[in-house]
Amino acid sequence: MRQKLTDILYARKTGNDDARTSDVIDETVNREASANYFKILIAQFLSKSADALMNPKITLPWVMHALGVPIVFLGWLVPIRESGSMLPQLLIANFVRRMPRRHLVWVSGSLLMALCMLGIALTIHVAQGEVAGWAIIGLLCLFSLSRGLNSVAFKDVLGKTVVKSRRGRISGWATCGAGFVMLIIALILTQPVVGHHPMFVYTLAFVTAAICWGIAAWVYQRVIEPPGVVDSERQGSLLTFKRLLLVVNDRTFGVFVLARALMLCSALSAPYFVVFAQQQGKSSMMYLAFFLAASGAAELLSGPFWGWFSDISSRKVMIIASLCSALLTGFMAVSAGGHITALSGYSLFPIVYFLLTIAHQGVRLGRKTYVVNLGQGNRRTDYVSVSNTLMGAILLLTGLLSLLEPYIGISGILTIFAAMGASGALLATRLPEV
């Protein structure tokens, strides 16, 4: 019998001669293993590409500044983008647990994010100043809640439709593709035409992001997902929040959550790398393109490697990547504190940022693969929702560290982050292999 094209590609991509892998329990999904793999891969690539287009650290601040939005609004972009999608996940999981099939939750989240992007594109042309600021912040809040739907549903569907030895590679290849998109964006920023028609370029970016999420939703709704274990009874709010006790009652999970919190070093330190570069006079549009290119190249080159490595040992990936991010952050802390002029060359900052992004991708892919493999069924849903809810709260608290900058400077803050990353790597050595 002639093999399906997806079976052949799946075997080549994953290094498995039998595309229908036997450790997928449900027979229907077993027959659709290769098709599911590529559907989820394509949807993830489109989602990550859309994320790159609306980057809250680069694109949104740039647009808001062009619209004359007061600077006070800019400080809320990253906290809302990250914490807004994590804090409500415990309540979202309470809803998701009652659904036998959960891929449509991801589809709903993607469609809502597409609508938010269209809303921001419209705001660019009808609002200015504070009005534009409040409109974008409101749409970003809805966007973050939609991301929460995707986060809870994605890991659960991934665990039911893709075998353990293939899960990390999906995120790895999707990250690689998104990195290529970042390189294209960086190339566009270097073109003179961008300066002549900025509003058109901003609008095009958000409309394209909306299209990406719309297509991703269409692809993802075609995933063949088996019915899973459901909670038939409605859970009260008290019982929902009692799941937070998992970090105490489940020792392995508790260690993972604490290690993950310390590994936030790789994400939290990145903006300070950019600020340090700006303080050294590297604030031109061309230099911004260099940072984008460095970030995109890092994702493009490191995604497949970290995905492959995570399928072998996601625990080792977390340890190595977190330790690397700690070393890089410590290096920049020394540079910032010592005001070493030799380190302010035109290419140094993007190179260090490139290496930090590689380490950050390792931390992300490692911990995502680890938590998916750690549990099964509704326990996996609990692990994801509880850890993400706690991370949302911790992110808000760590954001307060920026208040210390006038007293300890960027070097002091980076030193704290470097210590966090090293501690996270050390703590992760106590985790078992999954």
Convert the pLDDT of each residue in 343-363 to its tens digit: 555 567 788 888 998 998 899
Q: 2 lies in a domain?
A: no
The C-alpha atoms of residue 106 and residue 98 are separated, in whole angstroms, by: 15
Mean pLDDT of the chain: 76
**Could you tell me the pLDDT band of residue 342, with boundaries at 50, 70 and 90?**
very low
Q: 15 lies in a domain?
A: no
Q: What is the DSSP letter of 400?
A: G
Contact 102, 228 (CB under 8 A): yes
What are 21-36's pLDDT values in tens digits? 434 445 555 556 677 7
What are 54-92's pLDDT values in tens digits? 877 667 776 777 788 776 676 567 667 777 777 777 677
**78-106 CB burial, b ≥16 within 10 A, e <16:** bbbbbbbbbbbbbbbbbebbebebbbbbb
Contact 307, 172 (CB under 8 A): yes
Q: 47 lies in a domain?
A: yes
Task: Count CA atoms closer than 13 A to 224's CA, side-chain side.
Answer: 14
The C-alpha atoms of residue 294 and residue 355 are separated, in whole angstroms, by: 9
327 has pLDDT over 90: yes
At residue 44, what is the residue type?
Q
pLDDT > 90: percent of the chain: 14
Q: 381 lies in a domain?
A: yes
Q: 172 lies in a domain?
A: yes
Q: 433 lies in a domain?
A: no
What are 212-265's pLDDT values in tens digits? 999 989 988 887 776 666 565 555 555 666 777 888 888 888 899 999 999 988
What are 190-204's pLDDT values in tens digits? 777 665 667 787 888
**Could you tell me the pLDDT band of residue 273, with boundaries at 50, 70 and 90?**
confident
Contacts of 203 (CB under 8 A, 6+ apart): 121, 124, 125
Range of the domain at 295: 26-428
| Structure tokens, 377 | 């069924």
Q: How many domains does the chain have?
A: 1
Q: What is the pLDDT of residue 297?
A: 82
Per DSSP, helices labelled H in 265-347 are 265-268, 270-279, 285-338
Higher pLDDT, 221 or 322: 322
Q: What is the pLDDT of residue 181?
A: 80
Q: What is the pLDDT averaged over residues 143-163?
A: 76
pTM of the complete model: 0.71
Contact 356, 273 (CB under 8 A): yes
Q: 375 lies in a domain?
A: yes
The C-alpha atoms of residue 264 and residue 358 are separated, in whole angstroms, by: 14
Higher pLDDT, 45 or 118: 118
- Residue 117: CB atoms within 10 Å: 24
Q: What is the pLDDT of residue 282?
A: 56
Read off the CATH number of the domain in which 317 is found.
1.20.1250.20
Q: What is the pLDDT averaged over residues 138-152?
A: 84
3-state DSSP percent of the chain in helix, strand and coil, to 5: 80, 0, 20
Q: 1 lies in a domain?
A: no
